[in-house]
């Protein structure tokens, strides 16, 4: 029911496609880097208003931001409580996330889902897989959906490898196997990181030449489309480039996008215009 609430809400409601606003960057990247380009975005209420005005399916954030809007926005938009977070204050080769909220917090705030980041490729990945196993079990037992941010990074991977097609497909599969209802990954490139995987891609001719083909393959890796795969927006980009990515996701059968910086780092008018264009593409208009 909670998954349906998210799929039915907002402008894309009922289309099977999703547009989610995630605002955990204050924690993940720091407040000045995140909100400095558009200072109204320091205010947690700003993001509730933005998600509502843009007709997003859901708004995802850590505990503090959701609590700061709870009184004014309760029940107005599906919420995803991000239950772990990572900061950039220490330089680490193998990142891990701290648990920063609970399933009880998600219920108290009326959220539809819990969100959790894993870092396949990090030396700490197994600890994170264990944490989400327990959290997902608890969340599902009370009817909450599970959203996994599956971000490959860590000393096992090259920088290019973090978005390599084989690695992103693998990250999507791991999240699906961990029981995610919604899986969030980065848009993959044509780079292949693992030599063993390269042999298979080359010998079987899996089509990965275009961005749309790569999206299709990642969706295939997440149980052949039986799990919802959405793609992250990334750093602030030119509108035309960004919309080309959205068209590729749409053409490749991706389920949608989770767009943070490309939304709240623009003025509200520009963000609403861009999010409106994204919505039109996913709605097939
Ligand atoms: P963006 O659209 O801003 O990329 O947000 C998506 C997101 O997953 C955020 O939830 C998270 O803070 C951020 O990306 C992580 O980005 P990075 O890869 O730079 O750590």
* Measured CA angle at 13 (ends 3, 272), to 5 deg: 115
Whose C-alpha lies nearest to ligand 1, atom 13? 25
The residue from 184, 199, 268, 277 that is catalytic is 184
Residues 6+ apart with CB under 8 A from 127: 96
Q: Residue 112 gets which letter from DSSP?
A: S
Please tell me the pTM assigned to this model: 0.97
Residues 6+ apart with CB under 8 A from 50: 21, 263, 264, 268, 271, 272
Q: Does residue 118 sit in helix, strand or coil?
A: strand
Residues 6+ apart with CB under 8 A from 94: 119, 122, 123, 124, 154, 155
Does the annotation mark 184 as catalytic?
yes
Distance from C-alpha of 206 to C-alpha of 157, rounded to nearest angstrom: 22
Name residue, tokens 């400095």.
36
Whose C-alpha lies nearest to ligand 1, atom 7? 232
In this prediction the ipTM stands at 0.92
Maximum pairwise Cα distance, the chain:
57
CA of 272 to the centre of ligand 1 (A): 19
Q: Which of 23, 24, 27 to mutate to test the pocket of ligand 1 (most atoms within 8 A of CB)?
A: 24
* Measured CA angle at 274 (ends 216, 182), to 5 deg: 40
Tokens matching residue 239: 């509108």
What confidence tens digit (pLDDT) does each residue in 177-207 have? 999 999 999 999 999 999 999 999 999 999 9
Q: What does the chain come to in residues?
A: 285
Nearest partner of 144 among 24, 5, 37, 255, judged by Cα: 5
Q: Which residues are bridge partners to 146 per DSSP?
A: 114
Task: Please list, residue by residue across 231-252, b when 16 or more beta carbons sit within 10 angstroms of its beta carbon and e when fewer do.
Answer: bbbeeeeeeeebbebbebbbeb
What confidence tens digit (pLDDT) does each residue in 99-155 have? 999 999 999 999 999 999 999 999 999 999 999 999 999 999 999 999 999 999 999
Q: Which fold has domain 2-282?
A: TIM Barrel (3.20.20)
Domain definitions of the chain by residue range: 2-282
Distance from C-alpha of 91 to C-alpha of 81, rounded to nearest angstrom: 26
pLDDT given for residue 48 in this prediction: 98
What confidence tens digit (pLDDT) does each residue in 224-234 have? 999 999 999 99
């Amino acid at each position: 029911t909670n998954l349906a609430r998210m799929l039915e809400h907002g402008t894309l409601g009922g289309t099977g496609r999703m547009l989610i606003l995630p605002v955990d960057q204050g924690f993940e990247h720091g407040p000045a880097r995140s909100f400095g380009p558009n200072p109204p975005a320091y205010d947690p209420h700003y993001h509730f208003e933005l998600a509502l005005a843009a007709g997003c399916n859901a708004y995802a954030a850590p505990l503090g931001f959701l609590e700061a809007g709870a009184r004014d926005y309760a029940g107005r938009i599906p919420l995803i409580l991000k239950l772990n977070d990572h900061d950039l204050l220490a330089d680490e080769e193998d990142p891990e996330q701290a648990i920063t909220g609970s399933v009880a917090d998600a219920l108290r705030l009326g959220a539809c889902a819990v969100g959790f980041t894993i870092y396949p490729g990090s030396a700490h990945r197994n600890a994170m897989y264990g944490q989400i196993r327990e959290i997902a079990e608890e969340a599902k037992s009370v009817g909450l959906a599970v959203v996994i941010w599956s971000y490959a990074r860590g000393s096992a991977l090259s920088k290019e490898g973090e978005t390599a097609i084989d690695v992103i497909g693998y990250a999507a599969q791991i999240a699906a196997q961990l029981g995610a209802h919604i899986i969030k990954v980065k848009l993959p490139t044509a780079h292949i990181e693992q030599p063993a995987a390269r042999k298979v891609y080359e010998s079987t001719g899996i089509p990965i030449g275009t961005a749309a083909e790569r999206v299709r393959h990642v969706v295939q890796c997440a149980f052949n489309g039986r799990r919802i795969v959405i793609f992250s927006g990334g750093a602030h980009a030119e509108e035309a480039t960004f919309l080309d990515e959205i068209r590729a996701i749409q053409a490749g059968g991706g389920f949608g996008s989770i767009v943070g910086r490309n939304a709240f780092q623009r003025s509200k008018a520009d963000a609403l215009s861009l999010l409106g264009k994204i919505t039109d593409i996913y709605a097939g208009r």
